[in-house]
Amino acid sequence: MADANTYQSRFTLRMTALYFVLTFAITWAILIPALSSVPEESLTPFFIPAAFGPFLAASVVMGINRGRSGLIQWLRQVFKIRMPIVLYLAGAFFLPIGIGALHYSLYWVLGGRSDLSTAVPWFIYPISLLLTLLVGGNEEPGWRGFALPALLERFHPVPASLILGFFHAAWHLPLMNYYDTTFGWYLFNLIPLTYVHSQLAVPQVASECYPSHASTFRYKRDFQFYSDAGRCASGTRHLVFP
């Protein structure tokens, strides 16, 4: 019987490498021909399937290496509702509205005036939110549900964030001209964002490694904790608790 305080790696190095290869292959196979031959105003129908590249790659890798049951288990874990639905709605609707109201209030207090008659109609926001999920949110199950946990099994969150941030930015390379930006700017944005996500993911990864100590993870923030929690692969590493 396996020790409760040991952990078997869910993501092998081969799986991780195959994931990145497939992610780039799927997305670039759609994006590069579309960007070179389709008018700019007609690109959205191509962006949607291209953005599924990371998610499709992760699904293929899990299906090949873990079988149908492993794929289903991974999908359930990725799409598991971890908080009340009302909090998701608050984050999607009320938080942006509150931030916008705060910005406008500060602008008004400081003497600014604006003509709201030229503002975009309110119903455009939920439409834009849906489009954002289709051309951006659909990639996240691959990056955050597969790549980040796979890297955290082997690396401290800092190098894991640097690695994933680099690949995530490089994945956008065909779009640099379209977005009128640079690879360096994408790195500047994605690496800190990835690090924030890693801070949320480490306690989950560690609690799966050492379920008997799950309740203490949120309080442990030292380097050794992150090193062990992020690299508890193949049942060879152990966390030390006071």
Q: What is the pLDDT of residue 203?
A: 56
- Burial string for 135-161 (b: 16+ CB within 10 Å, else e) reads beebbbbbbbbbbbbbbbbbbbbeebb
Q: What is the pLDDT of residue 119?
A: 73
Q: What is the pLDDT of residue 238?
A: 33
Could you state, in order of their start, the residue ranges of all structural domains in the chain? 13-230
pLDDT in 10s for each residue of the chain, 242 residues: 344 444 456 788 999 999 999 999 999 999 999 999 999 889 988 998 999 999 999 999 999 999 999 999 999 888 887 778 787 777 777 777 888 788 888 888 887 777 667 777 777 777 777 777 666 678 888 998 899 889 988 888 889 889 999 999 999 999 998 888 899 988 998 898 888 877 776 555 555 554 444 444 443 444 444 444 444 433 333 333 22
Give CA 60 to chain center in angstroms.
18
Residue 81, Ramachandran bin (φ over 0: left; ψ between -120 and 50: alpha; else beta) = beta
Other Cβ atoms less than 10 A from the Cβ of 32: the count is: 13
Each residue's pLDDT tens digit, 32-54: 999 999 998 899 889 989 999 99
Q: What is the pLDDT of residue 17?
A: 96
